[in-house]
């Protein structure tokens, strides 16, 4: 790890904490490992789904160019690589190079910079390969099918994390690790291209950047598709704004993700950005059995005494029904 990558460690722990807390407070929210397998990337999808061929090709070109460039411009590096096989000869080669005079000293300085840069590379390479492998999920898939040897699927490290690391059972979509892979890839590309880019003429740099931006814009498929939604808040939410800060609201009817007009739940989440009150509900592709049962009971029997008691146990204080606000 380096000073550049260390800040990401607490961020990663912070992002994992809600899943760990959910694992302890609501075991029902844990996802079966079959879900993780379903929502992971197949090996072929790494190159075909949601990804940029511009980034992939640039990564490969920068890697190959950097390795060819380093061998041509750092002959001392080749000498030291050979010396690794002979133990202490590594040190003798290094100090011998420094005794050759100013030129050798300059090469030694460049070599030390190269070593530091390689250490930065290593941290991001670890992040790159770790997140890439994790995005493949618990078993290896190709073209939508589990890849098997002698009838057995090939397990991947994600399965180990699922069973041994608290919080991972709350993940549903391992494929999202590919976003971290992309971040690491872009930083590695920067490391690889920086020495080469510095040697280019200004005009060449401009052409290169223009070409790169053009390719990225072509991949973006502009203009982006939009979905018009009426998010004008109903006047009832002005009344919600006036409620005490500790108020929790429930909006009826409740919609699960597989119900008609379920989009209203995401709109209600937008409303909460204006009235700033907590609400029971939300929009997700996953719901626990407890929540599904409660929604079905409320939608079937309304606010009968049993349902009211249950809602109060969740902290609900007010209900919006037919655009009318009333205390629970």
- Same domain, residue pair 96 and 153: yes
Task: Report if residue 1 sits inside a domain.
Answer: no
Our count of domains for the chain comes to 2
- Same domain, residue pair 246 and 155: no
pLDDT value at residue 317: 92
Q: Dump the DSSP string for 165-222.
A: STTGGG---GGGHHHHHHHHHHHHHHHHHHHHHHHS-HHHHHHHHHHHHHHHHHHTTS
Of the residues 219, 250, 274, the one at which a domain ends = 219
pLDDT higher than 60, residue 94: no
- Same domain, residue pair 167 and 213: yes
Task: Report if residue 2 sits inside a domain.
Answer: no
Task: Report if residue 229 sits inside a domain.
Answer: no
pLDDT higher than 50, residue 205: yes
Q: Poorest-confidence range of 11-15, 42-46, 110-114, 286-290?
A: 110-114
pLDDT higher than 70, residue 218: yes
- Same domain, residue pair 200 and 101: yes
Residue with tokens 């052409």: 207
| 233 — pLDDT class (breaks 50, 70, 90) | confident
- Same domain, residue pair 179 and 279: no
Dist CA 169 CA 161 (whole Å): 9
Of the residues 151, 185, 219, the one at which a domain ends = 219
| Residue 108: Cβ-neighbour burial (10 angstroms; 0-12, 13-18, 19+) | middle
pLDDT value at residue 74: 47
pLDDT higher than 90, residue 70: no
- Of residues 225 and 201, more confidence is placed in 201
pLDDT value at residue 183: 87
pLDDT value at residue 77: 45
Mean pLDDT in residue range 191-202: 83
Peptide bond into 223 cis (omega under 30): yes
Residue with tokens 């397998």: 37
- Same domain, residue pair 177 and 274: no
- Same domain, residue pair 169 and 283: no
pLDDT value at residue 249: 93
- Same domain, residue pair 52 and 168: yes
CA proximity to 132, closest of 213, 67, 55: 55
Of the residues 165, 191, 219, the one at which a domain ends = 219
Average pLDDT score, the chain: 78
- Same domain, residue pair 100 and 245: no
Task: Report if residue 3 sits inside a domain.
Answer: no
Dist CA 33 CA 174 (whole Å): 11
Mean pLDDT in residue range 145-173: 85
| Residue 62: Cβ-neighbour burial (10 angstroms; 0-12, 13-18, 19+) | buried
- Answer yes or no: are the C-beta atoms of 220 and 93 closer than 8 Å: no
Per-residue pLDDT of 120-135, as tens digits, reads 678 888 888 999 999 9
pLDDT value at residue 71: 47
Peptide bond into 136 cis (omega under 30): no
Task: Report if residue 196 sits inside a domain.
Answer: yes
- Maximum mean pLDDT: which of 94-98, 163-167, 183-187: 183-187
- Same domain, residue pair 257 and 314: yes
- Same domain, residue pair 264 and 310: yes
pLDDT value at residue 319: 92
Task: Report if residue 225 sits inside a domain.
Answer: no
Per-residue pLDDT of 20-38, as tens digits, reads 776 676 666 777 888 888 8
Mean pLDDT in residue range 269-293: 84
Task: Report if residue 228 sits inside a domain.
Answer: no
Task: Report if residue 274 sits inside a domain.
Answer: yes
- Same domain, residue pair 120 and 166: yes
Residue with tokens 């694992």: 23
Q: Which domain holds residue 294?
A: 236-327
């Amino acid at each position: 790890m380096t000073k550049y990558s260390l800040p990401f460690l607490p961020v990663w722990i912070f992002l994992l904490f809600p899943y760990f807390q959910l694992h302890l407070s609501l075991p029902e929210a844990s996802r079966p490992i079959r879900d993780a397998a379903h929502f992971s990337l197949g090996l072929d999808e790494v190159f075909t789904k949601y990804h940029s061929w511009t980034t992939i090709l640039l990564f490969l070109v920068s890697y190959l160019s950097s390795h060819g460039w380093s061998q041509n411009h750092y002959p001392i590096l080749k000498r030291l690589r050979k010396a690794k096989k002979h133990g202490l000869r590594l040190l003798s080669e290094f100090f011998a190079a420094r005794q050759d005079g100013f030129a050798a000293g300059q090469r030694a300085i460049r070599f030390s910079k190269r070593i530091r840069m390689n250490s930065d590379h290593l941290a991001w390479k670890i992040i790159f390969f770790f997140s890439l492998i994790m995005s493949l999920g618990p078993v290896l898939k190709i073209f939508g099918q589990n890849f098997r040897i002698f009838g057995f699927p090939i397990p991947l490290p994600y399965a180990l994390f699922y069973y041994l690391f608290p919080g991972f059972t709350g993940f549903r979509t391992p494929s999202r690790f590919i976003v971290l892979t992309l971040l690491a890839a872009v930083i590695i590309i920067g490391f690889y291209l920086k020495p080469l880019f510095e040697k280019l003429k200004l005009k060449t740099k401009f052409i290169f950047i223009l070409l790169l931006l053009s390719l990225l814009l072509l991949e973006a498929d502009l203009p982006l598709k939009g979905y018009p939604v009426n998010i004008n808040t109903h006047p009832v939410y002005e009344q919600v704004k006036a409620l005490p800060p500790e108020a929790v609201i429930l909006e009826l009817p409740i919609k699960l993700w597989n119900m008609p007009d379920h989009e209203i739940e995401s709109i209600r989440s937008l409303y909460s950005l204006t009235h700033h009150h907590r609400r029971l509900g939300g929009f997700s592709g996953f719901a626990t059995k407890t929540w599904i049962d409660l929604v079905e009971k409320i939608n079937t029997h309304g606010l009968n005494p049993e349902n009211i008691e249950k809602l109060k146990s969740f902290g609900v204080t007010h209900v919006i029904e037919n655009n009318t606000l009333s205390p629970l």
